[in-house]
Structure 1
Amino acid sequence: MVNRRRIIARVVCLVLILIFVPYIVSRIASSWRGLSAHASTSMDAPSVNGRPLRIACYNIAHGRGQSKSNWTGESKAMRQQRLDEIAKQIASVDADIVVLNEVDFDSSWSFSVNQAEYLAEQAGYPYRAEQRNLDFRVLFWKWRFGNAVLSRFPIRDSTVIDFPSYSRAETLLAGKKRGLECVVDIEGTLIDVAGVHLSHRNEGVRTKSVDLLMNVTKPKLIAGDFNSTPTGFPRSTTDASEGNAIDKVDENALFQRRPIDSPSGESEFTFHSSDPGSVIDWILASDDWQIIDYKAIPSLLSDHRMLVAEVMLVSDAQEVESGNANKP
């Protein structure tokens, strides 16, 4: 009887070791894996002389398409085909910089593919930065995903934007939503671009995150899934003190946004892609920039639509206008 108890105790200890040692190691290592930058010199950067900068943002929903669960049961080939289609869509909009949300880095449910790397290669982006929101492992299953910035121009520096936590315990055990700020070198001009994905569960956390974006960080262009739509727009929400994250952007008056008014048709809605009814994805530009064009791209490759904006530095736009005015 004693030997049997010892055997059971040893088996239990072995199982606990198998479960918790990989998990603990993954959580300790997550701090070193939280941010990375990658470059390939196989492509030349395009010229932007006299033309707008085109920036896109896209929550790709881990490549799961319209499914509500990441454990879709589809094959690796099916997921790969969807990634190929996403890459073609990204390439088709001809963006200079692309912000990706809900992109997997070696997650088990997406067959351990680094989606940022794959999309960068397939869509033709020689530079990328990756930032992980969640990063942990249990036995043989890995959860590693977050934000990425793809660029046709060199990324000179990248940092993590540490947003407020929804839960301290959750942050410790698995991670939390954060942002990614990149310094992009566009023909000698350094541009601060931030990719963000704010809390999907709490408007108060989103409002505090916007406070940090407005008052602590220094990006000139901010893009991503804010999970917030302003007062007066369909499906707008507020926190306990009637606060709203996009309203907070407007109150700070540091950034321009589109659409300004509540959309009159579904063409400006970004979510849900199969039944568009709200605007929760945004591209914000500081007053240094002029927004020339802005549109959502209809597609069912994700539950979000991709946003594409054309922006130009005000000083450059004035030069172009002056040059056109002086032409005979």
Structure 2
Amino acid sequence: MPTRRLRLLSANIQAGASTRGYRDYLTRSWSHILPAGNKRNALDQIATLAREHDIVGLQEADPGSLRSGFTNQTHYLAERAGFPYWSHQTNRRVGTVASSANGLLSRLPPVRVEDHPLPGRVKGRGLLLARFGPGKAGLVVAIAHLSLGAQSRRLQLECIAERLADAPHAVLMGDFNCEPTRPELQVLFRKTLLQPPTRPLPTFPAWRPQRAIDYLLVTPALHLHALDALPAAQSDHLALSATLDVPEHALAAERTP
């Protein structure tokens, strides 16, 4: 079966802020609400990393508020890294001071991009879902940033599982805020074809990675060649970079004029 090799990246970019140790959460807390701290340089570094990939999923990208200098960071990265297709999903706003979004950058034209709010005790989480190729056989790429609480994560994972239940060619990437042994994750593996990570990579904290809380999960029909954890500028999470073989028929709509 003919396949196409794609490179995917999942990155929690922390809105371009810099965190180099636990003390920075206190001493640099101002950088999460003010447009300072050399965020533009951090975004340029992330753009350099993203440029090497075909599809990028972003978490904690600011869609345009005070802390980003009213810059839509997903759009900025798309332009700097040369991606012709981009989309974002604003999930949480704190007035005009700070906002948070999931983002998609793609070199392939999506057939459709869907915005699905996720349940939870505190509102502000969502699933950004992009469909490539024909119908149910097409490639589905889903991007999520889950809650800190286990009960909310369980509700969110059940919702995600419903969206991906019948997808033979699916990728789910993002910041799950939990390690792969957590029981709430099992709903994904019971109700979808997504496979548990065979080699969980520690991604948090970025300066001394100890916890595997960021994932790039795939279904068996997508052959995973490589998975690496890489710095995303000075974010507190490492990014995940994957190389996949995708059946050509799952991307067939890409050829349609």
Same fold flag (TM > 0.5) = yes
**Structure 2 residue aligned with 1:45:** none
TM-score calculated relative to the size of structure 2? 0.82
For residues 284 and 79 of structure 1, do their structure 2 counterparts lie closer, same or farther at Cα, with a shift above 3 Å needed?
A: same
Greater Cα radius of gyration, structure 1 or 2? 1
For residues 301 and 185 of structure 1, do their structure 2 counterparts lie closer, same or farther at Cα, with a shift above 3 Å needed?
A: farther
Task: Spell out the pairing of 1:196-211 with structure 2 (5 A cutoff).
Answer: 196-200=144-148, 202-211=149-158
Residue pair 1:228, 1:245 contacting (<8 A) in 2 also: no
Alignment: residue pair count: 236
Question: What is the CA-CA distance between 1:307 and the residue it aligns to?
Answer: 0.3
Question: Which 5+ residue runs of structure 2 have no aligned equivalent?
Answer: 250-257
> Which residue identity does 1:56 align to in structure 2?
L
**2 CA distance for matches of 1:114 and 1:177?**
18
**Structure 2 residue aligned with 1:248:** 187
SS in 2 for 1:256: coil
**1 CA distance for matches of 2:223 and 2:145?**
24
For residues 81 and 191 of structure 1, do their structure 2 counterparts lie closer, same or farther at Cα, with a shift above 3 Å needed?
A: same
**Structure 2 residue aligned with 1:306:** 239
For residues 279 and 197 of structure 1, do their structure 2 counterparts lie closer, same or farther at Cα, with a shift above 3 Å needed?
A: same
**Structure 1 residue aligned with 2:30:** 71
Residue pair 1:106, 1:142 contacting (<8 A) in 2 also: no
**Structure 1 residue aligned with 2:127:** 179
Residue pair 1:270, 1:306 contacting (<8 A) in 2 also: yes
* Higher share in helix: 1
Task: Spell out the pairing of 1:155-166 with structure 2 (5 A cutoff).
Answer: 155-166=110-121
> Which residue identity does 2:237 align to in structure 1?
H
**2 CA distance for matches of 1:142 and 1:299?**
23
**1 CA distance for matches of 2:84 and 2:189?**
35
Question: What is the CA-CA distance between 1:184 and the residue it aligns to?
Answer: 2.7
Question: What is the CA-CA distance between 1:279 and the residue it aligns to?
Answer: 0.6
| 1:292 is aligned to 2:239 | no
For residues 290 and 84 of structure 1, do their structure 2 counterparts lie closer, same or farther at Cα, with a shift above 3 Å needed?
A: same
Residue pair 1:156, 1:185 contacting (<8 A) in 2 also: yes
**2 CA distance for matches of 1:300 and 1:118?**
15
1:127 paired residue among 79, 85, 92: 85
**2 CA distance for matches of 1:162 and 1:145?**
13
Question: What is the CA-CA distance between 1:55 and the residue it aligns to?
Answer: 1.1
Task: Spell out the pairing of 1:1-328 with structure 2 (5 A cutoff).
Answer: 50-66=3-19, 67-68=24-25, 71-72=30-31, 76=36, 78-91=38-51, 94-137=52-95, 141-167=96-122, 171=123, 176-185=124-133, 190-200=138-148, 202-217=149-164, 220-231=170-181, 244-252=183-191, 254-258=193-197, 260=198, 268-298=201-231, 300-313=233-246
SS in 2 for 1:272: coil
Question: What is the CA-CA distance between 1:142 and the residue it aligns to?
Answer: 3.5
**1 CA distance for matches of 2:29 and 2:75?**
19
For residues 111 and 75 of structure 1, do their structure 2 counterparts lie closer, same or farther at Cα, with a shift above 3 Å needed?
A: closer
Q: CA RMSD in A?
A: 2.5
Residue pair 2:203, 2:214 contacting (<8 A) in 1 also: yes
For residues 70 and 118 of structure 1, do their structure 2 counterparts lie closer, same or farther at Cα, with a shift above 3 Å needed?
A: farther
Of structures 1 and 2, the one with the larger relative CO (CA 8 A, separation 6+) is 2
Identity %: 28
Residue pair 2:36, 2:67 contacting (<8 A) in 1 also: no
Question: What is the CA-CA distance between 1:246 and the residue it aligns to?
Answer: 2.7
SS in 2 for 1:196: strand
Residue pair 1:160, 1:178 contacting (<8 A) in 2 also: yes
